[in-house]
Amino acid sequence: MATTILLKMRGAKYLWITCAPLAWLVTVTFTAGWQKIFSPVPAIGFLAQANRLEASLRAGTAVDPAAAQTLIFNARLDAVLCGVFLVLVTAILLDSMRVWIGILRGTHEARVCEAPFVVSQLRAEEI
């Protein structure tokens, strides 16, 4: 309870110290993820690359059709995985915000769940 009161009294004014880098990381991550999935440039976007390879297969200009099929599958799989990771980052961020808002409002307890320091039993040459 004392930690919550301390956070409400002093900690909220230092919130920007962690929120500014977090905002930058989220912005960069989501921008890069969106571009990797939906960019119309085949060198950047997974779906554009798959579409270009599929068009070359249909036109009969693909050098190795089996390799092109594999690359199409891989590009689409990469797009799906990138989308899944963006959804997971969103879920983690939203849940973290829920906890942070609860701590700032005083409805959630701010507690640390770290293990205490234990001195190693190893000798210096074993480390």
The structure's pTM equals 0.76
Q: What percent of the chain has pLDDT over 90?
A: 62
Q: Rounded to an integer, what distance in angstroms lies between the CA atom of residue 66 and that of residue 73?
A: 11
Those residues whose C-beta lies under 8 Å from the C-beta of residue 111, and which sit 6 or more positions away, are 3
For the segment 13-42, what is each residue's pLDDT rounded down to a tens digit? 888 898 999 999 999 999 999 999 999 999
What pLDDT, on a 0 to 100 scale, did the predictor assign at position 94? 97
